[in-house]
A and B are shown apart, each in its own frame.
Chain A
Protein backbone atom coordinates (compact mmCIF):
# COMPACT_ATOMS: atom_id res chain seq x y z
CA UNK A 1 0.00 0.00 0.00
CA UNK A 2 1.49 3.22 -1.14
CA UNK A 3 1.06 6.06 1.30
CA UNK A 4 1.56 9.44 -0.27
CA UNK A 5 3.50 11.61 2.13
CA UNK A 6 3.95 14.57 -0.12
CA UNK A 7 2.08 17.58 1.16
CA UNK A 8 0.10 19.69 -1.18
CA UNK A 9 0.77 23.39 -1.29
CA UNK A 10 -2.11 24.29 0.94
CA UNK A 11 -1.04 21.70 3.45
CA UNK A 12 2.40 23.23 3.44
CA UNK A 13 0.99 26.68 4.12
CA UNK A 14 -1.09 25.25 6.94
CA UNK A 15 1.87 23.44 8.44
CA UNK A 16 4.03 26.55 8.23
CA UNK A 17 1.36 28.57 10.01
CA UNK A 18 1.05 26.03 12.77
CA UNK A 19 4.79 25.75 13.28
CA UNK A 20 5.13 29.53 13.52
CA UNK A 21 2.32 29.77 16.04
CA UNK A 22 3.69 26.86 18.04
CA UNK A 23 7.07 28.55 18.23
CA UNK A 24 5.48 31.80 19.35
CA UNK A 25 3.55 30.06 22.07
CA UNK A 26 6.34 27.81 23.22
CA UNK A 27 9.24 30.24 23.23
CA UNK A 28 7.36 33.50 23.50
CA UNK A 29 6.55 33.49 27.19
CA UNK A 30 10.20 33.16 28.04
CA UNK A 31 11.20 36.08 25.84
CA UNK A 32 8.51 38.66 26.39
CA UNK A 33 7.84 40.41 29.65
CA UNK A 34 5.51 39.65 32.54
CA UNK A 35 1.88 39.68 31.41
CA UNK A 36 0.69 40.79 34.81
CA UNK A 37 2.51 44.06 35.30
CA UNK A 38 0.23 47.10 35.13
CA UNK A 39 0.97 50.50 33.73
CA UNK A 40 -2.33 52.23 34.34
CA UNK A 41 -1.23 55.64 33.18
CA UNK A 42 -0.19 54.14 29.86
CA UNK A 43 -3.32 52.19 29.05
CA UNK A 44 -4.55 51.43 25.51
CA UNK A 45 -1.31 52.59 23.93
CA UNK A 46 -0.54 51.90 20.29
CA UNK A 47 2.07 49.37 19.21
CA UNK A 48 5.53 50.81 19.65
CA UNK A 49 9.09 49.99 20.52
CA UNK A 50 8.52 49.39 24.19
CA UNK A 51 5.36 47.30 23.81
CA UNK A 52 5.30 45.67 20.40
CA UNK A 53 1.55 45.18 20.35
CA UNK A 54 0.66 48.06 22.60
CA UNK A 55 -0.92 47.84 26.02
CA UNK A 56 -4.38 46.75 27.05
CA UNK A 57 -6.99 48.54 29.13
CA UNK A 58 -4.96 48.00 32.29
CA UNK A 59 -1.66 48.92 30.75
CA UNK A 60 -0.39 45.36 30.47
CA UNK A 61 1.84 44.42 27.54
CA UNK A 62 -0.30 42.82 24.83
CA UNK A 63 2.44 40.75 23.29
CA UNK A 64 3.23 39.18 26.67
CA UNK A 65 -0.42 38.41 27.31
CA UNK A 66 -0.84 37.02 23.83
CA UNK A 67 2.13 34.69 24.15
CA UNK A 68 1.00 33.36 27.52
CA UNK A 69 -2.60 33.06 26.39
CA UNK A 70 -1.59 31.22 23.28
CA UNK A 71 0.49 28.82 25.30
CA UNK A 72 -2.37 28.17 27.69
CA UNK A 73 -5.20 27.88 25.18
CA UNK A 74 -3.38 25.96 22.50
CA UNK A 75 -1.58 23.78 25.01
CA UNK A 76 -4.86 22.88 26.70
CA UNK A 77 -6.45 22.21 23.34
CA UNK A 78 -3.67 19.90 22.24
CA UNK A 79 -3.78 18.07 25.56
CA UNK A 80 -7.52 17.56 25.43
CA UNK A 81 -7.30 16.30 21.85
CA UNK A 82 -4.74 13.74 22.97
CA UNK A 83 -6.91 12.80 25.93
CA UNK A 84 -9.74 12.14 23.52
CA UNK A 85 -7.78 10.51 20.73
CA UNK A 86 -5.87 7.91 22.70
CA UNK A 87 -8.80 6.15 24.37
CA UNK A 88 -10.93 6.62 21.26
CA UNK A 89 -8.43 5.06 18.90
CA UNK A 90 -7.59 2.23 21.28
CA UNK A 91 -11.20 1.39 21.95
CA UNK A 92 -11.99 1.61 18.25
CA UNK A 93 -9.29 -0.84 17.30
CA UNK A 94 -10.14 -3.21 20.11
CA UNK A 95 -13.83 -3.06 19.30
CA UNK A 96 -13.20 -3.74 15.62
CA UNK A 97 -10.82 -6.55 16.49
CA UNK A 98 -12.83 -8.30 19.14
CA UNK A 99 -16.38 -7.57 18.10
CA UNK A 100 -19.08 -9.20 20.12
CA UNK A 101 -20.40 -7.82 23.38
CA UNK A 102 -17.44 -5.53 23.88
CA UNK A 103 -18.13 -3.76 20.63
CA UNK A 104 -21.82 -3.47 21.36
CA UNK A 105 -21.13 -2.08 24.81
CA UNK A 106 -18.79 0.53 23.40
CA UNK A 107 -21.32 1.54 20.77
CA UNK A 108 -24.02 2.01 23.38
CA UNK A 109 -21.66 4.03 25.54
CA UNK A 110 -20.71 6.20 22.60
CA UNK A 111 -24.32 6.80 21.71
CA UNK A 112 -25.22 7.90 25.21
CA UNK A 113 -22.33 10.33 25.39
CA UNK A 114 -23.34 11.71 22.02
CA UNK A 115 -26.74 12.45 23.46
CA UNK A 116 -25.57 15.70 25.02
CA UNK A 117 -23.86 18.37 22.91
CA UNK A 118 -20.23 18.68 23.93
CA UNK A 119 -20.32 22.27 25.04
CA UNK A 120 -23.14 21.59 27.46
CA UNK A 121 -21.20 18.75 29.02
CA UNK A 122 -18.11 20.91 29.39
CA UNK A 123 -20.25 23.73 30.78
CA UNK A 124 -21.78 21.46 33.40
CA UNK A 125 -18.39 20.15 34.44
CA UNK A 126 -16.90 23.65 34.50
CA UNK A 127 -19.72 24.83 36.76
CA UNK A 128 -18.80 22.03 39.18
CA UNK A 129 -15.32 23.46 39.53
CA UNK A 130 -15.15 26.97 38.12
CA UNK A 131 -11.74 28.12 36.99
CA UNK A 132 -10.10 24.71 37.27
CA UNK A 133 -8.45 22.94 34.36
CA UNK A 134 -9.63 19.37 34.84
CA UNK A 135 -13.26 19.99 33.78
CA UNK A 136 -11.99 21.18 30.43
CA UNK A 137 -9.84 18.10 29.85
CA UNK A 138 -12.45 15.72 31.08
CA UNK A 139 -15.35 17.38 29.31
CA UNK A 140 -13.60 17.78 25.99
CA UNK A 141 -12.13 14.29 26.16
CA UNK A 142 -15.53 12.78 26.94
CA UNK A 143 -17.20 14.72 24.17
CA UNK A 144 -14.64 13.94 21.48
CA UNK A 145 -13.48 10.41 22.05
CA UNK A 146 -16.64 9.19 20.39
CA UNK A 147 -15.61 10.71 17.08
CA UNK A 148 -12.33 8.87 17.11
CA UNK A 149 -13.97 5.68 18.26
CA UNK A 150 -16.54 5.60 15.49
CA UNK A 151 -14.20 6.52 12.71
CA UNK A 152 -11.47 4.16 13.83
CA UNK A 153 -13.88 1.29 14.37
CA UNK A 154 -15.40 1.69 10.92
CA UNK A 155 -12.02 1.94 9.19
CA UNK A 156 -10.43 -0.82 11.22
CA UNK A 157 -13.32 -3.14 10.55
CA UNK A 158 -13.09 -2.77 6.81
CA UNK A 159 -9.31 -2.99 6.80
CA UNK A 160 -9.22 -6.05 9.01
CA UNK A 161 -11.61 -7.80 6.67
CA UNK A 162 -9.55 -7.03 3.57
CA UNK A 163 -7.65 -9.74 1.70
CA UNK A 164 -4.26 -8.19 2.42
CA UNK A 165 -4.78 -8.53 6.15
CA UNK A 166 -6.16 -12.01 5.67
CA UNK A 167 -3.00 -12.93 3.82
CA UNK A 168 -0.74 -11.48 6.50
CA UNK A 169 -2.62 -13.31 9.17
CA UNK A 170 -2.30 -16.59 7.31
CA UNK A 171 1.41 -15.96 7.01
CA UNK A 172 1.52 -15.93 10.77
CA UNK A 173 2.09 -12.26 11.56
CA UNK A 174 0.94 -11.21 15.02
CA UNK A 175 -1.84 -8.77 15.77
CA UNK A 176 0.50 -5.95 16.68
CA UNK A 177 2.20 -6.10 13.30
CA UNK A 178 -1.14 -6.19 11.53
CA UNK A 179 -2.30 -3.07 13.32
CA UNK A 180 0.96 -1.24 12.78
CA UNK A 181 1.46 -1.86 9.13
CA UNK A 182 -2.07 -2.28 7.79
CA UNK A 183 -4.45 -0.33 9.97
CA UNK A 184 -2.34 2.59 11.10
CA UNK A 185 -1.28 3.99 7.71
CA UNK A 186 -4.90 4.11 6.55
CA UNK A 187 -5.99 5.77 9.73
CA UNK A 188 -3.38 8.50 9.79
CA UNK A 189 -4.97 11.02 7.43
CA UNK A 190 -8.39 10.59 9.01
CA UNK A 191 -6.96 11.03 12.48
CA UNK A 192 -5.21 14.18 11.38
CA UNK A 193 -8.48 15.60 10.15
CA UNK A 194 -10.21 14.69 13.37
CA UNK A 195 -7.39 16.16 15.42
CA UNK A 196 -7.66 19.47 13.64
CA UNK A 197 -11.42 19.51 14.21
CA UNK A 198 -10.84 18.69 17.85
CA UNK A 199 -8.25 21.41 18.42
CA UNK A 200 -10.49 23.99 16.83
CA UNK A 201 -13.43 22.88 18.89
CA UNK A 202 -11.39 22.85 22.08
CA UNK A 203 -10.13 26.39 21.63
CA UNK A 204 -13.61 27.62 20.77
CA UNK A 205 -15.06 25.81 23.76
CA UNK A 206 -12.62 27.50 26.10
CA UNK A 207 -13.45 30.84 24.56
CA UNK A 208 -17.13 30.13 24.99
CA UNK A 209 -16.62 29.18 28.63
CA UNK A 210 -14.82 32.44 29.20
CA UNK A 211 -17.68 34.25 27.55
CA UNK A 212 -20.15 32.57 29.85
CA UNK A 213 -18.09 33.29 32.92
CA UNK A 214 -16.82 29.90 34.08
CA UNK A 215 -13.54 30.05 32.27
CA UNK A 216 -10.02 30.38 33.50
CA UNK A 217 -9.72 32.77 36.40
CA UNK A 218 -7.82 36.02 36.12
CA UNK A 219 -5.06 37.02 35.90
CA UNK A 220 -4.07 34.08 33.72
CA UNK A 221 -4.51 35.29 30.19
CA UNK A 222 -6.66 33.09 27.97
CA UNK A 223 -7.64 33.81 24.39
CA UNK A 224 -11.38 33.70 24.80
CA UNK A 225 -11.42 35.78 27.95
CA UNK A 226 -9.08 38.29 26.31
CA UNK A 227 -11.43 38.71 23.40
CA UNK A 228 -14.31 39.49 25.69
CA UNK A 229 -12.30 41.82 27.88
CA UNK A 230 -11.02 43.85 24.97
CA UNK A 231 -14.31 44.08 23.12
CA UNK A 232 -15.47 47.43 24.56
CA UNK A 233 -12.34 49.07 23.22
CA UNK A 234 -12.86 48.06 19.62
CA UNK A 235 -13.18 51.64 18.47
CA UNK A 236 -10.49 53.20 20.57
CA UNK A 237 -7.87 50.52 20.11
CA UNK A 238 -8.88 48.00 17.45
CA UNK A 239 -5.42 46.45 17.32
CA UNK A 240 -6.00 45.05 20.80
CA UNK A 241 -8.92 42.81 20.04
CA UNK A 242 -7.50 42.03 16.64
CA UNK A 243 -4.51 40.32 18.27
CA UNK A 244 -6.20 37.34 19.99
CA UNK A 245 -8.73 37.08 17.18
CA UNK A 246 -5.96 36.86 14.61
CA UNK A 247 -4.03 34.32 16.63
CA UNK A 248 -7.11 32.15 17.00
CA UNK A 249 -8.15 32.55 13.39
CA UNK A 250 -4.70 31.76 12.07
CA UNK A 251 -4.47 28.68 14.27
CA UNK A 252 -7.82 27.43 13.09
CA UNK A 253 -6.93 28.29 9.53
CA UNK A 254 -3.74 26.29 9.80
CA UNK A 255 -5.67 23.36 11.23
CA UNK A 256 -8.19 23.52 8.42
CA UNK A 257 -5.58 23.79 5.70
CA UNK A 258 -3.61 20.87 6.96
CA UNK A 259 -6.42 18.39 6.49
CA UNK A 260 -5.95 15.92 3.67
CA UNK A 261 -8.32 16.76 0.88
CA UNK A 262 -10.42 14.37 -1.15
CA UNK A 263 -11.23 15.85 -4.51
CA UNK A 264 -14.36 14.67 -6.25
CA UNK A 265 -14.19 15.98 -9.79
Chain B
Protein backbone atom coordinates (compact mmCIF):
# COMPACT_ATOMS: atom_id res chain seq x y z
CA UNK B 1 0.00 0.00 0.00
CA UNK B 2 1.44 3.30 -0.97
CA UNK B 3 1.17 6.54 0.86
CA UNK B 4 -0.24 9.06 -1.53
CA UNK B 5 -0.35 12.07 0.69
CA UNK B 6 1.71 14.59 -1.14
CA UNK B 7 3.99 16.90 0.67
CA UNK B 8 2.39 20.20 -0.19
CA UNK B 9 5.39 22.13 0.97
CA UNK B 10 7.59 20.36 -1.53
CA UNK B 11 5.09 21.00 -4.30
CA UNK B 12 4.89 24.67 -3.44
CA UNK B 13 8.66 24.84 -3.39
CA UNK B 14 8.88 23.38 -6.88
CA UNK B 15 6.19 25.72 -8.19
CA UNK B 16 7.85 28.81 -6.72
CA UNK B 17 11.31 27.93 -7.89
CA UNK B 18 10.37 26.97 -11.41
CA UNK B 19 7.91 29.81 -11.73
CA UNK B 20 10.61 32.23 -10.72
CA UNK B 21 12.94 30.70 -13.28
CA UNK B 22 10.34 31.07 -15.99
CA UNK B 23 10.05 34.73 -15.17
CA UNK B 24 13.82 35.09 -15.23
CA UNK B 25 13.97 33.46 -18.67
CA UNK B 26 11.38 35.82 -20.06
CA UNK B 27 13.17 38.84 -18.62
CA UNK B 28 16.57 37.80 -19.86
CA UNK B 29 15.52 36.81 -23.37
CA UNK B 30 13.28 39.82 -23.76
CA UNK B 31 15.93 42.29 -22.69
CA UNK B 32 18.63 40.78 -24.85
CA UNK B 33 16.32 40.77 -27.86
CA UNK B 34 15.47 44.40 -27.26
CA UNK B 35 19.11 45.37 -27.31
CA UNK B 36 19.65 43.21 -30.35
CA UNK B 37 17.05 45.26 -32.13
CA UNK B 38 18.88 48.43 -31.27
CA UNK B 39 22.49 47.43 -31.62
CA UNK B 40 22.67 45.15 -34.59
CA UNK B 41 24.23 46.80 -37.59
CA UNK B 42 21.80 47.56 -40.32
CA UNK B 43 18.73 49.63 -40.00
CA UNK B 44 15.81 47.67 -38.58
CA UNK B 45 13.22 50.21 -39.49
CA UNK B 46 14.44 49.99 -43.08
CA UNK B 47 14.28 46.19 -43.06
CA UNK B 48 10.78 46.13 -41.66
CA UNK B 49 9.62 48.69 -44.19
CA UNK B 50 11.26 46.72 -46.99
CA UNK B 51 9.53 43.62 -45.72
CA UNK B 52 6.16 45.36 -45.89
CA UNK B 53 6.38 47.28 -49.14
CA UNK B 54 9.04 45.38 -51.02
CA UNK B 55 12.57 46.52 -51.69
CA UNK B 56 11.74 48.35 -54.87
CA UNK B 57 9.12 50.54 -53.30
CA UNK B 58 10.69 51.23 -49.96
CA UNK B 59 12.20 54.63 -49.42
CA UNK B 60 13.74 56.65 -46.64
CA UNK B 61 10.32 58.16 -45.86
CA UNK B 62 8.74 54.74 -45.48
CA UNK B 63 11.53 53.74 -43.10
CA UNK B 64 10.98 56.91 -41.08
CA UNK B 65 7.29 56.17 -40.82
CA UNK B 66 8.03 52.69 -39.55
CA UNK B 67 10.54 54.09 -37.11
CA UNK B 68 7.97 56.47 -35.64
CA UNK B 69 5.30 53.79 -35.61
CA UNK B 70 7.38 51.28 -33.71
CA UNK B 71 8.84 53.90 -31.42
CA UNK B 72 12.38 53.01 -32.40
CA UNK B 73 13.33 56.61 -31.84
CA UNK B 74 12.23 56.73 -28.27
CA UNK B 75 14.82 56.72 -25.46
CA UNK B 76 15.79 53.22 -24.58
CA UNK B 77 14.27 53.06 -21.12
CA UNK B 78 10.73 53.87 -22.29
CA UNK B 79 11.11 51.58 -25.28
CA UNK B 80 12.34 48.78 -23.01
CA UNK B 81 9.36 49.22 -20.72
CA UNK B 82 7.05 49.03 -23.73
CA UNK B 83 8.83 45.92 -24.87
CA UNK B 84 8.31 44.21 -21.51
CA UNK B 85 4.66 45.17 -21.48
CA UNK B 86 4.26 43.58 -24.87
CA UNK B 87 5.84 40.40 -23.59
CA UNK B 88 3.50 40.31 -20.60
CA UNK B 89 0.57 40.47 -22.98
CA UNK B 90 2.02 37.45 -24.82
CA UNK B 91 2.34 39.63 -27.90
CA UNK B 92 5.42 38.29 -29.59
CA UNK B 93 4.99 40.32 -32.76
CA UNK B 94 5.46 39.20 -36.33
CA UNK B 95 8.40 37.68 -38.10
CA UNK B 96 10.46 40.14 -40.12
CA UNK B 97 10.88 37.54 -42.83
CA UNK B 98 7.53 35.87 -43.39
CA UNK B 99 5.25 38.39 -41.68
CA UNK B 100 3.35 35.68 -39.84
CA UNK B 101 2.61 35.89 -36.15
CA UNK B 102 5.41 34.44 -34.08
CA UNK B 103 3.05 32.71 -31.66
CA UNK B 104 1.46 30.74 -34.46
CA UNK B 105 4.74 29.64 -35.95
CA UNK B 106 6.35 28.69 -32.65
CA UNK B 107 3.28 26.77 -31.50
CA UNK B 108 3.40 24.83 -34.73
CA UNK B 109 7.06 23.97 -34.35
CA UNK B 110 6.81 23.11 -30.68
CA UNK B 111 5.25 19.73 -31.40
CA UNK B 112 8.15 18.71 -33.60
CA UNK B 113 10.76 19.73 -31.08
CA UNK B 114 9.01 18.00 -28.21
CA UNK B 115 8.63 14.79 -30.17
CA UNK B 116 12.34 14.82 -30.94
CA UNK B 117 13.27 15.59 -27.33
CA UNK B 118 11.04 12.88 -25.88
CA UNK B 119 12.14 10.31 -28.41
CA UNK B 120 15.76 11.09 -27.66
CA UNK B 121 15.26 10.89 -23.90
CA UNK B 122 13.30 7.65 -24.16
CA UNK B 123 15.89 6.15 -26.49
CA UNK B 124 18.70 7.23 -24.19
CA UNK B 125 17.07 5.50 -21.22
CA UNK B 126 16.57 2.36 -23.32
CA UNK B 127 20.25 2.41 -24.27
CA UNK B 128 21.68 3.54 -20.94
CA UNK B 129 19.84 1.40 -18.45
CA UNK B 130 20.77 -2.06 -19.75
CA UNK B 131 24.35 -0.99 -20.37
CA UNK B 132 24.63 0.69 -16.99
CA UNK B 133 23.13 -2.26 -15.18
CA UNK B 134 25.35 -4.74 -16.97
CA UNK B 135 28.38 -2.64 -16.08
CA UNK B 136 27.32 -2.08 -12.48
CA UNK B 137 26.60 -5.71 -11.76
CA UNK B 138 30.24 -6.54 -12.33
CA UNK B 139 32.33 -3.45 -11.62
CA UNK B 140 35.68 -3.50 -13.37
CA UNK B 141 34.45 -6.35 -15.54
CA UNK B 142 34.75 -6.18 -19.29
CA UNK B 143 31.29 -4.64 -19.67
CA UNK B 144 32.26 -1.88 -17.30
CA UNK B 145 35.51 -1.04 -19.02
CA UNK B 146 33.96 -1.17 -22.47
CA UNK B 147 31.13 1.05 -21.32
CA UNK B 148 33.49 3.56 -19.83
CA UNK B 149 35.59 3.74 -22.97
CA UNK B 150 32.54 4.19 -25.14
CA UNK B 151 31.17 6.86 -22.83
CA UNK B 152 34.39 8.85 -22.93
CA UNK B 153 34.60 8.59 -26.70
CA UNK B 154 30.99 9.65 -27.18
CA UNK B 155 31.25 12.57 -24.79
CA UNK B 156 34.30 13.89 -26.62
CA UNK B 157 32.43 14.19 -29.88
CA UNK B 158 30.60 17.35 -30.88
CA UNK B 159 26.93 16.47 -31.41
CA UNK B 160 26.80 17.76 -34.94
CA UNK B 161 29.77 15.67 -35.90
CA UNK B 162 28.26 12.58 -34.36
CA UNK B 163 25.07 13.27 -36.26
CA UNK B 164 26.94 13.65 -39.51
CA UNK B 165 28.85 10.43 -38.95
CA UNK B 166 25.61 8.60 -38.32
CA UNK B 167 24.09 10.10 -41.44
CA UNK B 168 27.04 9.08 -43.55
CA UNK B 169 27.05 5.61 -42.04
CA UNK B 170 23.32 5.27 -42.56
CA UNK B 171 23.45 6.52 -46.12
CA UNK B 172 26.14 4.06 -47.00
CA UNK B 173 24.86 1.08 -45.09
CA UNK B 174 21.15 1.05 -45.58
CA UNK B 175 18.74 2.50 -48.05
CA UNK B 176 15.96 2.46 -45.54
CA UNK B 177 17.18 4.91 -42.94
CA UNK B 178 16.29 8.45 -43.98
CA UNK B 179 19.05 11.01 -43.76
CA UNK B 180 17.04 14.16 -43.15
CA UNK B 181 13.71 15.84 -43.50
CA UNK B 182 10.37 15.20 -41.93
CA UNK B 183 7.17 13.45 -42.71
CA UNK B 184 8.30 9.91 -43.26
CA UNK B 185 8.12 7.24 -40.59
CA UNK B 186 11.81 6.73 -40.09
CA UNK B 187 12.86 10.35 -40.09
CA UNK B 188 12.95 10.59 -36.34
CA UNK B 189 15.42 7.78 -35.92
CA UNK B 190 18.72 9.43 -36.75
CA UNK B 191 18.30 12.75 -34.95
CA UNK B 192 16.89 11.01 -31.88
CA UNK B 193 19.65 8.44 -31.95
CA UNK B 194 22.37 11.07 -32.19
CA UNK B 195 21.04 12.93 -29.19
CA UNK B 196 20.33 9.71 -27.31
CA UNK B 197 23.88 8.45 -27.72
CA UNK B 198 25.30 11.62 -26.22
CA UNK B 199 22.83 11.44 -23.34
CA UNK B 200 23.34 7.74 -22.78
CA UNK B 201 27.09 8.20 -22.53
CA UNK B 202 26.63 10.01 -19.24
CA UNK B 203 23.49 8.40 -17.87
CA UNK B 204 24.82 4.89 -18.38
CA UNK B 205 27.65 5.81 -16.06
CA UNK B 206 25.21 7.18 -13.52
CA UNK B 207 23.18 3.97 -13.74
CA UNK B 208 26.34 1.99 -13.34
CA UNK B 209 27.31 3.90 -10.21
CA UNK B 210 23.97 3.44 -8.55
CA UNK B 211 23.69 -0.25 -9.49
CA UNK B 212 27.20 -0.85 -8.19
CA UNK B 213 26.18 0.85 -4.96
CA UNK B 214 23.11 -1.33 -4.66
CA UNK B 215 25.10 -4.49 -5.35
CA UNK B 216 27.54 -3.53 -2.63
CA UNK B 217 24.80 -2.73 -0.12
CA UNK B 218 23.66 -4.73 2.83
CA UNK B 219 20.04 -5.22 1.90
CA UNK B 220 21.07 -6.69 -1.42
CA UNK B 221 23.37 -9.17 0.28
CA UNK B 222 20.56 -10.00 2.65
CA UNK B 223 18.18 -10.62 -0.23
CA UNK B 224 20.69 -13.02 -1.74
CA UNK B 225 21.02 -14.94 1.50
CA UNK B 226 17.22 -15.16 1.61
CA UNK B 227 17.49 -17.23 -1.52
CA UNK B 228 16.46 -14.78 -4.24
CA UNK B 229 18.31 -14.98 -7.53
CA UNK B 230 20.54 -11.96 -8.25
CA UNK B 231 18.17 -10.69 -10.91
CA UNK B 232 15.10 -10.91 -8.77
CA UNK B 233 16.92 -9.28 -5.87
CA UNK B 234 17.97 -6.44 -8.12
CA UNK B 235 14.51 -6.00 -9.48
CA UNK B 236 12.81 -5.94 -6.14
CA UNK B 237 15.30 -3.99 -4.11
CA UNK B 238 17.60 -2.27 -6.47
CA UNK B 239 15.76 -0.85 -9.44
CA UNK B 240 13.97 1.94 -7.68
CA UNK B 241 17.11 2.92 -5.81
CA UNK B 242 19.05 2.80 -9.04
CA UNK B 243 16.45 4.58 -11.12
CA UNK B 244 16.15 7.65 -8.91
CA UNK B 245 19.64 9.06 -9.61
CA UNK B 246 19.19 8.40 -13.32
CA UNK B 247 15.95 10.36 -13.41
CA UNK B 248 17.47 13.13 -11.32
CA UNK B 249 20.42 13.18 -13.68
CA UNK B 250 18.01 13.63 -16.55
CA UNK B 251 17.27 17.01 -15.07
CA UNK B 252 20.92 17.92 -15.33
CA UNK B 253 21.00 16.62 -18.87
CA UNK B 254 18.05 18.67 -20.01
CA UNK B 255 20.35 21.52 -20.90
CA UNK B 256 22.25 19.13 -23.14
CA UNK B 257 18.98 18.06 -24.73
CA UNK B 258 17.90 21.59 -25.50
CA UNK B 259 21.28 22.58 -26.88
CA UNK B 260 21.51 19.38 -28.90
CA UNK B 261 18.06 19.95 -30.31
CA UNK B 262 19.09 23.34 -31.64
CA UNK B 263 22.04 21.96 -33.56
CA UNK B 264 20.61 18.65 -34.67
CA UNK B 265 17.40 20.11 -36.01
CA UNK B 266 19.45 22.26 -38.34
CA UNK B 267 21.56 19.37 -39.43
CA UNK B 268 18.67 17.02 -40.09
CA UNK B 269 16.28 19.68 -41.44
CA UNK B 270 13.82 18.82 -38.66
CA UNK B 271 11.25 21.64 -38.62
CA UNK B 272 11.29 22.35 -34.92
CA UNK B 273 12.02 25.38 -32.78
CA UNK B 274 15.78 24.87 -32.85
CA UNK B 275 15.81 24.98 -36.63
CA UNK B 276 13.68 28.09 -36.55
CA UNK B 277 16.05 29.72 -34.06
CA UNK B 278 19.12 29.08 -36.20
CA UNK B 279 17.24 30.34 -39.19
CA UNK B 280 16.17 33.47 -37.37
CA UNK B 281 19.73 34.15 -36.20
CA UNK B 282 20.91 33.86 -39.77
CA UNK B 283 18.25 36.25 -41.06
CA UNK B 284 18.63 38.55 -38.01
CA UNK B 285 14.88 38.16 -37.51
CA UNK B 286 14.86 39.53 -33.99
CA UNK B 287 11.19 38.89 -33.07
CA UNK B 288 11.62 35.29 -34.16
CA UNK B 289 14.87 34.94 -32.21
CA UNK B 290 13.06 36.20 -29.14
CA UNK B 291 10.08 33.93 -29.67
CA UNK B 292 12.06 30.75 -30.21
CA UNK B 293 14.54 31.41 -27.41
CA UNK B 294 11.69 32.16 -25.07
CA UNK B 295 9.90 28.98 -26.00
CA UNK B 296 13.02 26.88 -25.63
CA UNK B 297 13.81 28.45 -22.28
CA UNK B 298 10.28 27.92 -21.02
CA UNK B 299 10.33 24.31 -22.25
CA UNK B 300 13.53 23.83 -20.34
CA UNK B 301 12.03 25.17 -17.14
CA UNK B 302 8.89 23.10 -17.64
CA UNK B 303 10.83 19.90 -18.23
CA UNK B 304 12.90 20.63 -15.15
CA UNK B 305 9.72 21.01 -13.15
CA UNK B 306 8.48 17.70 -14.55
CA UNK B 307 11.69 16.02 -13.46
CA UNK B 308 11.31 17.55 -10.00
CA UNK B 309 7.79 16.14 -9.77
CA UNK B 310 8.95 12.74 -10.98
CA UNK B 311 11.65 12.64 -8.32
CA UNK B 312 9.07 13.61 -5.75
CA UNK B 313 6.82 10.78 -6.87
CA UNK B 314 9.54 8.21 -6.91
CA UNK B 315 11.18 8.98 -3.62
CA UNK B 316 8.86 7.93 -0.83
CA UNK B 317 10.94 9.82 1.72
CA UNK B 318 10.35 13.15 0.08
CA UNK B 319 6.77 12.39 -0.64
CA UNK B 320 5.83 11.94 2.94
CA UNK B 321 7.68 15.02 3.98
CA UNK B 322 10.41 13.49 6.14
Instruction: Indicate whether A and B are direct neighbours in the complex (CB within 8 Å).
Output: yes
Given A211-B160, A265-B216: A128 and B35 interface contact (C-beta under 8 Å) = yes
Flag if A231 contacts B156 (CB, 8 Å): no
Asked if A127 is at the interface of the complex by the 8 Å CB criterion, the answer is: yes
Is chain A's binding surface mostly helix, strand, loop or mixed?
Answer: helix
Within 8 A of A (CB), among B49-79: none
Flag if B21 contacts A265 (CB, 8 Å): no
By a CB distance below 8 angstroms, the chain A residues around B281 are: 123, 127, 212-214
Q: Which of A116, A234, A256 interacts with B155 by CB under 8 Å?
A: A256
**Chain A proximity mask over B242-257: 1 for CB below 8 Å, otherwise 0:** 0000000000001100
Given A127-B36, A249-B156, A252-B156: A120 and B296 interface contact (C-beta under 8 Å) = yes
By a CB distance below 8 angstroms, the chain A residues around B36 are: 124, 127-128
Asked if B314 is at the interface of the complex by the 8 Å CB criterion, the answer is: no
Within 8 A of B (CB), among A86-129: 108, 111-121, 123-125, 127-129
Asked if B22 is at the interface of the complex by the 8 Å CB criterion, the answer is: yes
By a CB distance below 8 angstroms, the chain B residues around A234 are: 168
Q: Which of B32, B158, B258 interacts with A227 by CB under 8 Å?
A: B158
Say which one of A75-83, A171-179, A200-208 lies at the interface with B.
Answer: A200-208
Flag if B263 contacts A211 (CB, 8 Å): yes
By a CB distance below 8 angstroms, the chain B residues around A248 are: 156, 158
A145 to chain B, nearest CB (A): 15
Asked if B24 is at the interface of the complex by the 8 Å CB criterion, the answer is: yes
By a CB distance below 8 angstroms, the chain B residues around A114 are: 21
Flag if A253 contacts B139 (CB, 8 Å): no
Asked if B213 is at the interface of the complex by the 8 Å CB criterion, the answer is: yes
Asked if A245 is at the interface of the complex by the 8 Å CB criterion, the answer is: yes
Q: Number of A-B pairs whose CB atoms are under 8 Å?
A: 124
Q: Which residue of B lies closest to A256 (CB)?
A: B152
**Other 10 A-B pairs with CB < 8 A, given A123-B281, A252-B156:** A116-B293, A116-B300, A121-B28, A123-B293, A124-B32, A128-B36, A208-B262, A224-B158, A256-B152, A265-B215
Residue of B209, B259, B300 ringed by the most chain A CB atoms within 10 A: B259
By a CB distance below 8 angstroms, the chain A residues around B28 are: 112, 115-116, 121
Asked if B113 is at the interface of the complex by the 8 Å CB criterion, the answer is: no
Asked if B318 is at the interface of the complex by the 8 Å CB criterion, the answer is: no
Given A208-B160, A227-B158, A264-B213: A111 and B139 interface contact (C-beta under 8 Å) = no
**Chain B proximity mask over A223-253: 1 for CB below 8 Å, otherwise 0:** 0100100010010000000000100110011
Flag if A264 contacts B216 (CB, 8 Å): yes
Asked if B29 is at the interface of the complex by the 8 Å CB criterion, the answer is: yes
CA distance A208 to B259 in the complex (A): 9
Enumerate 15 A-B pairs (CB-CB under 8 Å) in ascending A order. A116-B24, A116-B297, A117-B259, A119-B258, A207-B158, A208-B159, A211-B160, A212-B263, A212-B281, A227-B158, A227-B161, A234-B168, A256-B152, A265-B212, A265-B216
Within 8 A of A (CB), among B266-322: 266, 277-278, 281-282, 284, 289, 293, 296-297, 300-301
Asked if B17 is at the interface of the complex by the 8 Å CB criterion, the answer is: yes
Given A112-B21, A116-B29: A212 and B156 interface contact (C-beta under 8 Å) = no
Asked if B25 is at the interface of the complex by the 8 Å CB criterion, the answer is: yes
Given A123-B281, A214-B281, A253-B152: A117 and B212 interface contact (C-beta under 8 Å) = no
Given A127-B284, A213-B282, A264-B139: A117 and B156 interface contact (C-beta under 8 Å) = no
Asked if B20 is at the interface of the complex by the 8 Å CB criterion, the answer is: yes
CA distance A136 to B161 in the complex (A): 21
CA distance A264 to B148 in the complex (A): 14
Asked if B157 is at the interface of the complex by the 8 Å CB criterion, the answer is: yes
By a CB distance below 8 angstroms, the chain B residues around A115 are: 21-22, 24-25, 28, 297, 300-301
